[in-house]
Structure 1
Amino acid sequence: MANQGIVTPTNIDIQHDVVSIQWNDGHTSDYPHRYLRLECHCATCVGEWPNKGDLDPETIPLDVYAMEHQTIGRYAVQFLWSDGHYTGLYPYDVLRKACPCPECTAAKK
């Protein structure tokens, strides 16, 4: 069964300064590495209890970068980070909504 209406990546490219994701809707999202690392919402980063809090940016190195990635089923991607973190899953819908480009940022307002 096809994922009709669901935005999914067609390509994920880890570059020197960004993780570039091309989406099946034609959009390209360029996520600076640290920005993307700070978007991790796993239990290790934000706690196991709902609404415990956000990841403290002070705990993430300024030069953190994604080293590798793997797709998780048909719904998420997981990154191996230079700071050793690897447990976070980035669901495609959440990742697409977190796009930091000017067009997407303006649409969120």
Structure 2
Amino acid sequence: MSHEGIRIVHEDEARRIDEQNRSLPQQATEPAKVRVNKTEGTGMEIDWKDGHHSAWNFTWLRNACPCATCHEEREQEGRRPGEPKKKPAAALPMYEPPPRPVLVSPVGRYAISFHWNDGHTSGIYSWDFLRRHCNCDVCSKKELKS
């Protein structure tokens, strides 16, 4: 809800916004090594300069696409990055091949881009975005506490 430039949010959303705006140490958002396991189809791994290790599967990455269209769609549906779309009720579900990148490209020194097998190409996954959405046990526990 908003009124003349004032937006009222729930406490959990305010915490999430604070977390997103919090600066991370530079070494926490600089990869030491990036592995995209495209041939194996397993996902991407990053060893960060601060010693942390993160890994994501391709399904999570595709569902977490940070482009404006995907971001707005997730917000409207109340989904978090990586959370899949709800499937429409149908008599026979249609087969969808699992998400896989057709092409992977660096974006400067700050991000990576995937061209997905479903034709989607507009997401730019910044190192900051990926670190903030680390799925490891340690980071998942921190998210539960906040």
Q: TM-score, normalised by structure 1?
A: 0.75
Aligned twin of 2:57: 32
- Call closer, same or farther: CA 1:94–1:63 in 2, change over 3 Å: same
Q: Which has the higher contact order (CA 8 A, sep 6+)?
A: 1
Alignment map for 1:1-109 (pairs within 5 Å): 5-6=25-26, 7-15=29-37, 16=40, 17-47=42-72, 52=76, 57-58=85-86, 61=96, 63-109=98-144
Structure 2 unpaired stretches of 5+: 1-24, 88-95
Amino acid at match of 1:108: E
Q: TM-score, normalised by structure 2?
A: 0.59
Distance in 2, matches of 1:9 and 1:67, equals 22
Structure 1 unpaired stretches of 5+: none
Structure with bigger strand share is 1
Please report how far the alpha carbon of residue 47 of structure 1 lies from its aligned counterpart in structure 2 after TM superposition: 4.1
Alignment partner of 1:57: what SS?
A: coil
Structure with bigger helix share is 2
